[in-house]
Copies of this chain bind each other. A is one copy, B any other.
Amino acid sequence: MELRDRILAAAARVYAETGFRGATTRRIAAEAGVNEVTLFRHFGSKSSLISEAIGAERGALLLGSLPGEPADPSAELTAWAEAVLELLREKRALIRTCMGDFEEHPEMMPPCGSPTARAAEALCEYVERLRRAGLATGNADPRVAASMLMGALFADAMGRDIMTDLYRSAPDEAVAGYVRLFLRGIGVEVA
């Protein structure tokens, strides 16, 4: 069992760096410290291997949760958003590579249940809770609002090291700014 996982982890690493075409079976085998034939004996083909590696990586990515009974929206959301951004940033190479390969291999990215989408769903429900608790007065569509904050975090995680002229302030300050704007936008009073 251990060897299988080592191969999967190696495949994910090489794939994140070089994409589907660049992730050659030789490189993956070398990265895993394993003979090339072993890959084929375990997974049959390169496609299956990489597909499974991405799936495992996606499943292993678990995100923090937002409180069921909101008390301090600003603090709670900031902490959550920082955690989400951190996770996305850690996996940014893999995520970017997947996006780049989407045109050629859409089957590698199932259209539902991505960590990003799950995070947005959690956020959406939190916004509804805020509203029910009377903490948010606005009438914005919570789903669109969630997409907006989530999109800002996603773009930040993906683009901060690429477009250095766009993201000049520190990540923490940026997240604080996003959350502040978001809360004011949905009608939450914030200092």
Contact = CB atoms under 8 A, between A and B. Distances in A.
Which of A120, A144, A154, A184 has the most chain B CB within a 10 Å cutoff?
A144
Contacts of A155: 147, 150-152, 154-155
Which of A159, A167, A187 has the most chain B CB within a 10 Å cutoff?
A159
Contacts of A186: 181
A177 B116 contact: no
Interface of A: 16-19, 21-22, 93, 96-104, 109, 111-114, 116-117, 120-121, 138, 140-141, 143-145, 147-156, 158-159, 162-169, 173-174, 177-178, 180-182, 184-187
18 contacts: A17-B104, A97-B100, A98-B100, A100-B101, A111-B163, A113-B165, A114-B166, A117-B165, A121-B165, A144-B177, A147-B166, A147-B167, A148-B152, A148-B181, A152-B155, A181-B182, A184-B184, A185-B185
